Structure 1
Amino acid sequence: MSRGDEQSEAGESGAPEQLALIRETVRERKARQPRAKPRTWRNAERAARLPVARVLVDKGMVHLDRYFDYAVPAAMDEEAQPGVRVRVRFGAGEREGRREGGGLVNGFIVERRADTDFAGRLAPLAQVLSPEPVLGPELLQLCRAVADRYAGSLADVVQLAVPPRRARPEQQPSPRRLPRPDMPEPGGWSRYPQGPAFLAALREKAAPRAVWTALPGPQDWAVELATALATALAAGRGALAVLPDGKAAARLDAALTALVGEGRHVLLTADAGPEPRYRRWLAVRRGSVRAVIGTRAAMFAPVHRLGLVAIWEDGDAAHSEERAPQPHAREVLMQRAVTEQAAFLLGAHGCTVEAAQLVESGFARPLTAERETVRAVMPRVRTAAEGDEARDPAARSARLPSLAWRTARDALALGPVLVQVPRRGYVPRLVCERCREPARCRHCSGPLEAGAEGAALRCGWCAREVVDWHCGMCGGGRLRGSVFGARRTAEELGRAFPSVPVRTSGGEHVLETVPGGPALVVATPGAEPVPEGGEGYAAALLLDGWVLLGRPDLRAGEEALRRWLAAASLVRGHEAGGSVVVVAEETLRPVQALVRWDPAGHALRELADRAELGFPPVSRMAAVTGPPQAVAGLLEAARETGLPAEAEVLGPVPLPVPAAGRPRRPGDPPPGEQWERALVRVPRGSGAALASALKTAQVRRLTRREGPSAQLRIDPLDIG
């Protein structure tokens, strides 16, 4: 009988003394076997010159935000250069003065050295994944600056800056770099008093900085921004433009192609797919292409000899990265303008408070048109109070006032009419007809929604159908809509104008363009298509303004004005019959700014209010979110690690617990947990000290394992 059979038979018989004897025999046999010694690298096996590689390990944990040294084997000496991707063993820690064990993780070589500060025996590089140096010194310096500003880890920022590797594009040669294009004419920039001077500075390879309030027009902004990019290219320097979405990037791409031809710039958006996008990114890194147009990930594009960085619509929330440490494209481009001595251009039809702060602080100069020029090209903007609603107060509460109805009827004889609706769907919010209490699901307390006329009610969170609904407050059984979506609006307009085609754009179905003939185009903010032919819409109706203005957010007025201006800019000028009707309270500041087409004035007044209250961008803020003990622990540790003396802690305040069944959003507490949020405010000049103190405190708590961790965000978009 074999040993295995004996063990099996002993186990089946259940004799404990035999089982113990077998186990003791196995332990003795293992003890007599010699232990394998860890492999050591002799001098001949290491690289003869600069045998130490300093590696940025791809671990985004903030307490591991430093470099680690590894030995360079002689066989990898040629390929293991700074900037390349490698694999190393990491995770087992230090034992008896040497690094050993651990799993394989990715990383980047940042430096080759002759010696190391590590006292033990270095582990060797496991593999060079690619000889392509994708993390150059300038890009590494930028990532380090962004990580420090946002109290994040360098590895997290590098993940945002360097796209995932694809082997095939690295093996293919990049296209040959084309000669400089011809210097473009100023074109539309001549409408701005300082426009030609800005282009002249680009031609002279200077670094001007401007906040540009673009004149209205369906395609004017794209042509003008393309002219600025082409000017930088013609001067022999690189150019980079970041836009909020793929639709805007496609417009600028077409405009720049018309100016300089194909092959001189690339489009970096998620729509291209991983492999084509990586191929284009490599062409930029290798210097074959010196101009980039893209969405927020393109803010890190390694453009050679960068001469101009531009951002369009910096107030769009899409410019704020969702992944840690959540940098904003505007701040990253400002950093690049300073460190790489490049020109800076922030453009929009509106003006954010941050843009106004840049002008007030002297960082940039305003680039705006004269009031006479603005009046000549803007559409006529009216409020509902200018119609019959001024004499009939009851008519003011109508969703489509008579003035808006007449404007749409008259404009349809000239071309398409845009109808902007803040919400998509059919009836996304229902209330009790008797007491106006919001209608909620009995199962998860989610909001009830109407999918279409005659369709059953559904919960917006758990998607359950609801029958025989009754109000929990008054017992009523009848519902009415409190907010109407784009599909319901399109249905109502189709009945009001039966002979006119109705198109919708929003959600997953966004139209790029629409025909220039008469039609009603119902769109949500940001999804407005551009009419073909270049003339623009004959009119625009901006409905349900109270939805945008009534949001509990510090930026509600600014955001409403930004969305209205973006839609109104697609309308023809008043001399060509263009008209805009906004359905909102006419006395509110954003409404008056739209009527006067004065976004810069609105931003300056908002900035003055923020300065009086001490809110950003006059101050710098950090949000600390998490369980109560984590928030308190991090704030206490920050005070001990150098929190500025002038720092003011607001809160903490409890966060609302998400109802069961509701989709969890970033920053929401886990189900069943109570979280808090505290805001830490400092003067603007102390922002770096604030980020450093909070990051140091976070590292200390993680390394010492002092309870649960808290989430940290510098410059949160929402402080309401």
Structure 2
Amino acid sequence: MTHSSLPPDDDALLPLDAVRERPAPVAVPPARGVPESAETLPVARVAVDTPLPHLDRPFDYLVPASMDADAAPGTRVRVRFAGKLVDGFLLERAEASEHTGKLARLERIVSPERVLTPEIALLARAVADRYAGTLADVLRLAVPPRHARVEAETRDEPHDRAREEAGEEGRGEPGPWADYPDGESFLAALAEGRSPRAVWTALPGTGQRGPGWPEAVAVAVRETLRGGRGALVVVPDGKDVALADAALSAVLGPGAHVALTSDLGPAERYRRWLRVVRGRVSAVVGTRAAAFAPVRDLGLAVIWDDGDDLHAERLAPYPHAREILALRAHHGRAGLLIGGYARTAESTRLVATGWAGPIAAARETVRERAPRVRPAGEDSELARDEAARAARLPSLAWRVLRAGLETGPVLVQVPRRGYLPALACQSCRATARCGSCGGPLALRGGHAAPYCRWCGRIAGDWRCRACGTARMRAQVVGARRTAEELGRAFPSVPVRTSGKEGVLAEIGAARALVVATPGAEPVAEGGYAAAVLLDGWALLGRPDLRVAEETLRRWMNAAALLRPRAELVVLADSSVLAVQALLRWDPVTHAERELAERTELRFPPAVRIATLTGSPAAVREMLGEVALPEGAQVLGPVPVDTPRGDQVRERAMVRVSQAGGSALAAALKGAVGVRSARKSPEVVRVCIDPLDVI
């Protein structure tokens, strides 16, 4: 596999070693009446933990002679800043300072542990610049909080032998990669220490050991360790971490890697993270925060299912794990593997620009492994059952469920969680809303009273404002109500639910009805015997730029859990492009069409977009002050719906070409810094390349 040496985002991935012009350094004069400074490299450049954007730069401090031994780059320090003691990271030591005035001294070395490696420090700076954020915000995401007790534990742990032992052995079996024409060449490149970049369209199907993708990822990690380099795997949630963790343990052996998830607890997470930063292990698997894991000599970064919104950080500056790993792979000369059953437009663009190569199985292999997809509403089915046009579960779905239950568990995917999450008037079909705050009404159970989803008020005396009717009907049916109805239809079959209230990781091979929301489908031992994808209109009808891509991704993730050639029914119009892609099991063509349409309409990822959200006055003020790059197009501002409707918010969108992305981020960051310096009372939220642009 050959790849271009240039990244896809033009100036968005500039070399990290580019240094800004600085004035000539000024020698540090000796201080009087205070403890002596360190004889060599007496100046410490510190990244101070401050939320103020206009102070997003390193500050110089003197290193006292008593701290000389422990004041190493990457350590945590305490410094006096604006009259207060604050935390910070020591970035580097220098002989002289550019500051012409008197320098303050380091107050304390919090710990001699070097928790911030040079690679992660440079990566954090690049992520902050790309997303118009501050270094302090990114470092909070990259470095977990300190636990002194964990640091004090014994350091005489065995060093990583997985990389050395892997190099001593011959090349292992390709495993699942043997099903892909380019699979073995990809593994060979990793084993030879090269850095291939690929977008991998994984084969569907579940065997006795579960889905095939965790084993494939583990084999790629094994070959990377054989090549003498480290590996990092990022997956959407804890359920996927458990699958990848088990596969890595089986392929690499126990203790050769660590899993990093938020549910470990702060102490255990920090303990495992220290093993990585100390070089005890060279392989890591985790959720989005693991993208910053300080793996030494990174040779391969893997992200699974990059279209999942869980990969997008909820905290400022809102980076996406895919972009973090792309930055890291490009600047660190590491390999990158973007895998999934479906394809995003962003990963398709990487292939189209030549920055990454595709890995996909032959069509004959896909047909053998994919389920048999049947859309509801075919002419033959309508001729047999006219009522199927209006039925939520047509006769085809009932037949498939009944036949599947004879040989094993069956899956029913429901887009909405809860019981009845949306209600309407029985007579006029108007949405039922709370008389107090105007929020939508819902039901928690069959014998519960309707309540407001915004304020929680019980609406026992509700009447429709339009026609005065006191009766309601279901507007949307949730997963728990669906499970209740299926339980009545199949009284002898156990019904299991998996969703926000409780996610099942796996189930056995015995017959069962599994009702799950998208993303919460448990893995069935040996695969599901059949599946039904309900309420396709609810997924396809959302006002979202990515609605077709996201719907296909959710459908394919569920369908991939079936046995090869098992029957799957999708309740959606067969003329919809996403349904056609599912019928043919062809996510690549669908993604290429999505990318072409977005390029024509100037939507991401063909362009870079930034959103500015805040009060109407603040957004307009910032738009009037910011110096946008040439060719930038401002759309809006327009009103934004708030969760309770009690705050007036507006959002403006700024659109530029890919080449102008870095200039746009720099301009917006400068404008935010100006507002911060003059202490503007209202905050404008800046988000670069947001997932929701409509």
Q: With structure 1 as the length reference, what TM-score do the two structures score?
A: 0.89
2:573 is equivalent to residue 573 of structure 1: no
2-structure distance, mates of 1:133, 1:676? 43
- Whether contact under 8 Å (2:545, 2:693) holds in the other structure is yes
- 1:548 is displaced (CA, Å) by 0.5
Q: Secondary structure at the match of 2:621?
A: helix
For 1:137, the aligned partner's letter is: P
- Corresponding residue for 2:493? 500
> Deviation per CA, 1:453-507, whole angstroms, max 9, x where unpaired?
1222222222222223221111122211111111100110011111111111111
Evaluate the alpha carbon distance shift between residue 123 and residue 465 of structure 1 in structure 2; reply closer, same or farther with a 3 A threshold: same
Which has the greater radius of gyration? 1
Secondary structure of 2:79's counterpart equals strand
**How many Å apart are 1:75 and its aligned residue?**
1.3
Query: Aligned partner of 1:329: which letter?
Result: A
Correspondence for 2:392 among 396, 399, 406: 399
CA shift, 1:632, in A, is: 2.0
Q: Which residue, 429, 433, 441 being the options, matches 2:434?
A: 441
* Corresponding residue of 1:589: 577
Q: Report the Cα offset of residue 40 of structure 1.
A: 6.4
Spell out, residue by residue over 1:293-345, the C-alpha distance to the aligned partner (whole angstroms, 9 max, x if none): 00000000111111100100000000001111011000010011111111110
Report the AA paired with residue 283 of structure 1.
R
Structure-2 separation of matches of 1:297 and 1:691: 22
> What SS does structure 2 have at the residue aligned with 1:193?
coil
1:276: which partner in 2? 268
Alignment-derived partner of residue 309 in structure 1: 301
The answer to whether the Cα contact below 8 Å between 1:389 and 1:401 also exists between their aligned partners in 2 is no
Instruction: Output the CA distance in 1 between the equivalents of 2:680 and 2:85.
Output: 28
Question: Given the alignment of the two structures, is residue 604 of structure 1 paired with residue 592 of structure 2, yes or no?
Answer: yes
- Determine helix, strand or coil for the equivalent of 2:528: coil
Call closer, same or farther: CA 1:284–1:397 in 2, change over 3 Å: same
Q: Give how far 1:41 is off.
A: 5.0
Q: How does 1:342-357 map to 2 (within 5 A)?
A: 342-357=334-349
Question: In structure 2, how many angstroms separate the alpha carbons of the residues matched to 1:562 and 1:487?
Answer: 23
Instruction: Work out which of the residue numbers 90, 98, 108 in structure 2 matches 1:117.
Output: 98
1:21-170 matched pairs, under 5 angstroms: 42=33, 45-91=36-82, 102-170=83-151
**Aligned residue in 2 for 1:704:** 678
Contact 2:159 2:279 survives alignment (8 Å): no
Q: Identify unmatched segments of 5+ residues in structure 2.
A: 1-29
Amino acid of the structure 1 residue aligned with 2:411? L
- Specify the SS of the correspondent of 1:492: helix
Q: Which amino acid aligns with 1:214?
A: A
What's the counterpart of residue 661 of structure 2?
687
The 8 Å contact of residues 38 and 68 in structure 2, kept in 1 or not, is answered as yes
Corresponding letter in the other structure for 2:553: R
More displaced stretch, 54-63 vs 697-706: 697-706
Cα 1:44–1:412, aligned 2, differ >3 Å: closer, same or farther?
closer
DSSP-derived class of the 1:258 partner: helix
Instruction: Name the SS for the 1:404 alignment partner.
Output: helix
Quote how far apart the aligned CAs of 1:509 are.
0.7
In 2, Cα distance between equivalents of 1:310 and 1:600: 19
Whole-Å separation in 1 of the counterparts to 2:66 and 2:334: 41
Counterpart CA distance in 1 for 2:32 and 2:41 is: 15
Shift of 1:393: 5.0
The 1:657–1:108 alpha-carbon spacing in structure 2 relative to 1, beyond 3 Å, is: closer
| Deviations 1:628-663, CA, capped at 9 Å, x for gaps | 222222222222xxx221111111112235436xxx
Q: State the distance in 1 between where 2:642 and 2:419 align.
A: 28
Alpha-carbon deviation of 1:391?
A: 5.5
Aligned equivalents of 1:390 and 1:549: distance in 2? 26
Aligned pair 1:659/2:640, yes or no? no
Q: How does 1:529-678 map to 2 (within 5 A)?
A: 529-532=522-525, 535-574=526-565, 578-639=566-627, 643-659=628-644, 671-672=646-647, 674-678=648-652
Q: Report the counterpart of residue 196 of structure 1 in structure 2.
A: 184
In structure 2, relative to structure 1, the CA distance for the partners of 1:230 and 1:519 (3 Å cut) is same
One of 475, 481, 504 as aligned partner of 2:474: 481
Amino acid at match of 1:198: F
Aligned pairs, number: 653
Q: SS of the residue aligned with 1:356?
A: helix
**1:651 is aligned with what amino acid?**
G
Are the aligned partners of 1:180 and 1:236 in contact in 2 as well (CA < 8 Å)? no
| Alpha-carbon shift at residue 685 of structure 1 (Å) | 1.4
Query: C-alpha displacement at 1:390, in angstroms?
Result: 5.3
How far apart, CA to CA, are the structure 2 residues paired with 1:150 and 1:487?
40
Q: Whole-Å Cα distance in 2 between the matches of residues 704 and 556 of structure 1?
A: 41
CA RMSD of aligned residues (A): 1.5
Q: Distance in 1 between matches of 2:454 and 2:35?
A: 65
3-state SS in 2 of match to 1:212:
strand
Query: Within 2, Cα distance between the matches of 1:567 and 1:539?
Result: 11
Moved more, 408-417 or 393-402: 393-402
Q: Does 1:340 align with 2:341?
A: no
Residue 258 of structure 1 is matched in structure 2 by: 250
Asked if 1:176 corresponds to 2:159, the answer is: yes
- Whether the 8 Å CA contact 2:454–2:643 is kept in 1: the answer is no
> 1:427 aligned to 411, 420, 425, which one?
420
What letter corresponds to residue 264 of structure 2 in structure 1? A
CA distance in 2, matches of 1:608, 1:44: 66
Question: Aligned partner of 2:183: which letter?
Answer: G
How far apart, in 2, do the equivalents of 1:629 and 1:237 lie?
52
SS of 1:700's equivalent? helix
| Aligned residue among 450, 475, 499 for 1:457 | 450
> How many Å separate the matches in 2 of 1:390 and 1:650?
49
Q: Are 1:184 and 1:259, in contact at CA under 8 Å, matched by a contact in 2?
A: no
Name the residue aligned to 2:8: none
Aligned letter for 2:158? Answer: P
Question: Superposition pairs for residues 285-300 of structure 1, below 5 Å?
Answer: 285-300=277-292
CA deviation string 1:388-441 (max 9, x = no partner): 335655422211111000100011001000000011111111111211111111
Instruction: State the Cα distance separating 1:43 from its structure 2 match.
Output: 6.9
